[in-house]
């Protein structure tokens, strides 16, 4: 197994599952009940991710006059939901974890239905008149969400319920462990993809950075406009700007059979880790949020 595969298929999923377990130990059922009693935050978060993000990606591809391959690669990324990494960053940033998990789950399921339409339009518009039928791995995607996110969080919540003192003691160590794992994964991604990323940054570095910064800013300001509290605003901001790169790579390489389309996805991952790291440092050091 190649180093890249080892990182993406073994190390990263196991690391994220452990982090989700720790995250679950900070949650109680009432955290989710509060969200559904006041669903405005869910609506804003999903609007940002499922509607505004693809629009921003589409406009940037046109403004920067990207070639067909890079434009479609950018649209693959912009049409994907957030992933477990966004939950990790939210935890360290002391955001609303229950909201982050809910948005990730909802956006993932809805995206399965939306992505084929968005990408079919992108393939048409940017000049790849192919007869590609886009069929997402629905079962695999659902299993990925269950195994990496839902099951570990549920186990963590059970530990919190039955071993409350232990769960509370572990909150700070798990947050520290999450930060360390985040840094290690970032370094591993850089090392494994260094050749592709050097060329990619030259080609789509600026446009992917702008996509990341604009979507994060949109998430934060739309939440503020609708008077969402700070913890939930942090979650919406992170969910808007942190995408499921694994799913995006699967679509580019396996479904559309074009590894080059993965270049914007790989470059975006670098910016995503950098901006995510900054947010973790900025919000994580605050004593009260």
Q: Which CATH number does the domain housing residue 106 bear?
A: 1.20.1530.20
Residue 97: both structure tokens together: 């974890």
DSSP state of 253: I
DSSP state of 17: H
Does some domain include residue 70? Answer: yes
Does some domain include residue 127? Answer: yes
pLDDT of residue 50: 92
Does some domain include residue 24? Answer: no
Please give the Cα distance from 187 to 264 (Å, whole number).
18
Give the global pTM.
0.77
Residue 1: both structure tokens together: 């197994």
Q: How many domains would you assign to the chain?
A: 1
pLDDT of residue 56: 96
3-state secondary structure of 195: helix
Give the residues of the chain that fall short of pLDDT 70.
Answer: 1-13, 16, 128-142, 144-146, 149, 178, 182, 185-186, 188-190, 192-193, 195-196, 246, 253-255, 287-289
Does some domain include residue 80? Answer: yes
Burial of 26 (0-12, 13-18, 19+ CB in 10 A): buried
- Note the residue count of the chain: 289
pLDDT of residue 68: 85
Among residues 84, 139, 81, 143, the alpha carbon closest in space to that of 110 is found at 81
Does some domain include residue 163? Answer: no
Does some domain include residue 22? Answer: no
Does some domain include residue 11? Answer: no
Does some domain include residue 78? Answer: yes
Torsion, Cα 39 76 146 275, to 10 degrees, reads: -70
pLDDT of residue 43: 92
Residue numbers of the domain that contains 51:
31-151+202-284
DSSP state of 191: H
pLDDT of residue 200: 79
Separation in Å, CA 230 to CA 43, 86, 201, 233: 16, 17, 33, 5
3-state secondary structure of 14: helix
Please give the Cα distance from 283 to 289 (Å, whole number).
8
């Amino acid at each position: 197994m190649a180093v890249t595969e080892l990182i993406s298929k073994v190390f990263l999923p196991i690391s994220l599952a452990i982090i989700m377990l720790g995250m679950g130990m900070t949650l109680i059922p009432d955290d989710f009940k509060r969200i559904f009693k006041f669903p405005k935050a869910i609506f804003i978060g999903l609007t940002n991710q499922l509607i505004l993000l693809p629009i921003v990606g589409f406009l940037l591809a046109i403004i920067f006059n990207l070639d067909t391959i890079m434009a479609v690669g950018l649209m693959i990324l912009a049409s994907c939901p957030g992933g477990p990494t966004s939950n990790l960053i939210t935890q360290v940033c002391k955001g609303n974890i229950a909201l982050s998990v809910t948005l990730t789950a909802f956006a993932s399921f809805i995206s399965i239905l939306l992505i084929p339409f968005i990408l079919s339009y992108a393939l048409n518009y940017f000049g790849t008149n192919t007869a590609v039928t886009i069929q997402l791995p629905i079962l695999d995607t659902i299993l990925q969400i269950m195994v990496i996110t839902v099951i570990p969080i549920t186990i963590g919540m059970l530990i919190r319920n039955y071993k409350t003192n232990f769960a509370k003691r572990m909150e700070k160590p798990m947050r520290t462990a999450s930060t360390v794992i985040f840094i290690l994964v970032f370094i591993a991604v850089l090392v494994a993809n260094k050749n592709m990323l050097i060329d990619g940054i030259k080609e789509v570095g600026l446009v992917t950075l702008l996509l990341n910064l604009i979507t994060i800013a949109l998430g934060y300001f739309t939440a503020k406009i609708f008077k969402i509290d700070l913890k939930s605003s942090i979650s919406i901001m992170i969910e808007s700007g942190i995408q499921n790169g694994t799913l995006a790579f699967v679509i580019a390489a396996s479904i559309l059979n074009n590894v080059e389309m993965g270049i914007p996805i790989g470059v975006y991952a670098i910016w995503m880790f950098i901006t995510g790291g900054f947010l973790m440092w900025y919000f994580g050091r605050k004593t009260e949020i």
